[in-house]
Amino acid sequence: MTDPTKIRNQPALTSSSGAVWLIVGGLFAVISIVVLIPLVMRQPAGLAMGGIVAVVVLYLAMVVIRLRVRPLRRRLGLLAICMLTMAAIGLACTLIVSAVEWNLV
């Protein structure tokens, strides 16, 4: 018997086609890029640009995963990992640039 309340048993990770991950991931990528673009000229040099590149690469990886990996839990798990990594990179870059600009580091 499977417990439907466990995270690994949620429909987004068990029966989704993966399209919703691409839509939400695309929205998240756009939001991350819009936040990071104004930080490109701030210190530490290149961090925000690196974050933008990483977010774009991770979104492209999501598209490739959606098209190439067979429709199993593995594909949905990989899509989730890519999106969570995008979130972590966007947040970390924003926090680091902000901390440096406010002389907190």
How many angstroms separate the Cα of 40 from the Cα of each of 19, 74, 92, 94, 105? 31, 35, 14, 10, 18
pLDDT at 11: 61
The token pair at 15 is 């029966």
pLDDT over threshold 90, residue 23? yes
Q: Tell me the C-alpha distance between 12 and 21, whole Å.
A: 8
More confident residue, 49 or 102: 49
Q: Worst-scoring range by mean pLDDT, 43-47, 52-56, 69-73?
A: 69-73
Please give the average per-residue pLDDT across 23-50, as a whole number: 92
Please give the average per-residue pLDDT across 46-75, as a whole number: 92
pLDDT over threshold 90, residue 33? yes
